[in-house]
Amino acid sequence: MATSLNQSARRAAERGLLVQVIIGRQCKDSAADSLAELERLADTAGVVVTGSITQRRDRPDPAFLIGHGKLEEVQLACRAAKADLLVFDNDLSAVQVDNLSAAVGADVMDRTELILQIFARRARSAEAQMQVELAQLQYLSSRIQATEKQARFRGGIGARGPGEKPFQLHKAPMLHRIRVLKRKLEEIQERRSRTREGRPWPVVSIVGYTNAGKSTLLNALTGAGAYVDDRLFATLDTKSRLLFMPGGRKAILTDTVGFIRNLPHGLVASFRSTLEEISESDMLLIVADAGHAYAGEHVSVVRGTLKEMRADRIPALWVFNKTDCAEARARIPRLAAEHSGALFVSALTGEGVDALKLRIESGLPVAARPFAEGGNDSWREWRKRPADG
Ligand SMILES: Nc1nc2c(ncn2[C@@H]2O[C@H](COP(=O)(O)OP(=O)(O)OP(=O)(O)O)[C@@H](O)[C@H]2O)c(=O)[nH]1
Ligand SMILES: [Mg+2]
């Protein structure tokens, strides 16, 4: 862990070249957006992006991902731009990282590692830090397994061998730390689920693609003062605030970590307890940036992620944000036709926010009798009971 955090610090001032391989029939536009996203991710991680190189291939090259001709182009571009880091939009195997690094003479990382580094820097609470450390260790340990196999193979032909030993020595403490972290996170999760059971109000979670304006919306609805930034993954430590609705009802409104395409699986698993908050919610506000050129694709990613988390059956309100932007306004008719019942708001100016409060209130499960706040019943226990009039 210490190693990878040090690496994050060291990489802060690095000059990076982005590389993307479009495999098979992947759509060109969506690949272009993915690359633009990678550039923003690299910028968030403190990498100075010097340029990008894209290649279309029927299938990835097992040794280098890119073809040999392209490898030469990358070598030249790296030298010309004085880049010391290659950032791939695609996932790389441990062997590919080693081979590329040796061939180009630069550090190499893939999208997953970049996202992990951003999470490592931004996590503030003890829980978020443990979640990120777990994801990083799992990522590293999977790499070591691969490298060990490779070492045995290469050792056989005399190209490498003893150099791999330190890796093996590090693996046992790494696996021990993974077990410790998992246990600690499970304890936090159990405590949290007990607290959840005892909550006196329904829970509404704000979910959506990263940078859609979720934290800004939490602030607009509750005056929470949550951290807002025009960066991907501004929020890793989420806030919950009490929401007061016009008819007098209350709900707990929770901000969440943003989704992104190809969210690393290790991260999803490590953030399980945070994400569980979402699947245990009584209602979701799914926020999308109506002004984004790829809003439609972001909607698909959010739908897919919610399905993976088994949160796709929770009553949800689609909220298209940033209607103060001209690009967003131009898209409203189409989005309204595609998402009946969606709301259009500007979390920044407050436009549409009161209407949203009304919709949240009317969308929450209706109480068959007034819910006695401050009584012994929790919202969940009360909801589970049959209506007795
Ligand atoms: N123009 C405009 N910008 C907005 C609006 N809402 C949010 N923004 C901007 O969008 C950027 C991202 O906002 P956040 O609230 O941090 O977005 P988020 O969804 O919480 O992002 P992550 O936490 O990174 O996933 C910030 O620069 C906000 O000021 C809006 O209604 N209109
Ligand atoms: Mg946020």
Number of structural domains found in the chain? 3
Question: Ligand 1 within 6 A of 211 CB?
Answer: yes
> Is the domain of 190 the same as that of 332?
no
Q: Is residue 223's pLDDT more than 50? A: yes
From the CA of 291, the nearest ligand is 1
pLDDT given at position 12: 45
Dihedral, CA atoms, 190, 192, 197, 200, nearest 10 degrees? 170
CA 309 to ligand 1 center in whole angstroms: 24
> Is the domain of 212 the same as that of 138?
no
CA 232 to ligand 2 center in whole angstroms: 8
Q: Is residue 75's pLDDT more than 90? A: yes
> Is the domain of 127 the same as that of 272?
no
> Is the domain of 265 the same as that of 177?
no
pLDDT given at position 385: 52
Taking the CA of residue 218 as reference, the ligand 1 atom at the shortest distance is 15
- pLDDT tens column, 239-268: 889 999 999 999 999 998 888 887 776 777
Residue 162 domain flag: no
Tokens of 385: 């009971």
Q: Kindly report the CA angle at 317 between 311 and 322, in degrees rounded to 5?
A: 115
pLDDT given at position 10: 46
pLDDT given at position 159: 36
- Three-state SS string over the chain comes to CHHHHHHHHHHHHCEEEEEEEEECCCCHHHHHHHHHHHHHHHHHCCCEEEEEEEEEECCCECCCECCHHHHHHHHHHHHHHCCCEEEECCCCCHHHHHHHHHHHCCEEEEHHHHHHHHHHHHCCCHHHHHHHHHHHHHHHHHHHHHHHHHHHHHHHCCCCCHHHHHHHHHHHHHHHHHHHHHHHHHHHHHHHHHHHHCCCCCEEEEEEECCCCHHHHHHHHHCCCCCCCCCCCCCCCCCEEEEECCCCCEEEEEECCCECCCCCHHHHHHCHHHHHHHHCCCEEEEEEECCCCCHHHHHHHHHHHHHHCCCCCCCEEEEEECCCCHHHHHHHHHHHHHCCCCEECCCCCCCCHHHHHHHHHHHCCCCCCCCCCCCCCCHHHHHHCCCCC
Q: Is residue 386's pLDDT more than 90? A: no
- pLDDT tens column, 288-314: 999 998 898 899 999 988 888 888 889
Task: Report the side by side order of strands in the sheet with 107-110.
Answer: 48-57, 15-23, 85-88, 107-110
| pLDDT-based confidence at residue 220 (cuts at 50, 70, 90) | very high
Q: Is residue 24's pLDDT more than 50? A: yes
Taking the CA of residue 231 as reference, the ligand 1 atom at the shortest distance is 24
Residue 8 domain flag: no
> Is the domain of 208 the same as that of 331?
yes
Residue 331 domain flag: yes
Q: What is the CA radius of gyration of the chain?
A: 24
User: Ligand 1, from 122, 210, 216: best to mutate by most atoms within 8 Å of Cβ?
Assistant: 216
pLDDT given at position 349: 97
- Report which protein residue has its CA nearest ligand 1's atom 9: 213
More confident residue, 293 or 27: 293
Residue 45 domain flag: yes
CATH number for the domain spanning 301: value is: 3.40.50.300
pLDDT given at position 273: 65
Question: Ligand 1 within 6 A of 297 CB?
Answer: no
> Is the domain of 333 the same as that of 220?
yes
pLDDT given at position 217: 97
Q: Is residue 364's pLDDT more than 60? A: yes
pLDDT given at position 160: 36
> Is the domain of 325 the same as that of 285?
yes
| pLDDT-based confidence at residue 163 (cuts at 50, 70, 90) | very low
Percent share of the chain, pLDDT over 70 = 82
CB proximity list for 198: less than 8 A, separation 6 or greater: 378
> Is the domain of 246 the same as that of 270?
yes
Which range has highest mean pLDDT (19-33, 49-63, 264-278)? 49-63
pLDDT given at position 147: 53
> 89 lies in which domain range?
15-118
Give the pLDDT mean for 48-65. 94
Q: Is the pTM of this model over 0.75?
A: yes
Residue 377 domain flag: yes
pLDDT given at position 127: 84
Question: Ligand 1 within 6 A of 290 CB?
Answer: no
Give the pLDDT mean for 353-362. 96
Question: Ligand 1 within 6 A of 353 CB?
Answer: no
pLDDT given at position 272: 67
> Is the domain of 224 the same as that of 138?
no
More confident residue, 54 or 367: 54
Give the pLDDT mean for 85-93. 94
- Report which protein residue has its CA nearest ligand 1's atom 13: 213
> Is the domain of 358 the same as that of 281?
yes
pLDDT given at position 119: 84
> Is the domain of 105 the same as that of 20?
yes
Give the pLDDT mean for 332-341. 93
CATH number for the domain spanning 50: value is: 3.40.50.11060
From the CA of 41, the nearest ligand is 1
CA 210 to ligand 1 center in whole angstroms: 9
Residue 7 domain flag: no
From the CA of 239, the nearest ligand is 2
Question: Ligand 1 within 6 A of 234 CB?
Answer: yes
Half-sphere exposure of 256 (CA within 13 A, CB side): 30
Residue 157 domain flag: no
**Partners of 252 in beta bridges:** 203, 242
Give the pLDDT mean for 162-183. 72
- Report which protein residue has its CA nearest ligand 1's atom 10: 213
From the CA of 228, the nearest ligand is 1
> Is the domain of 235 the same as that of 353?
yes
Residue 6 domain flag: no
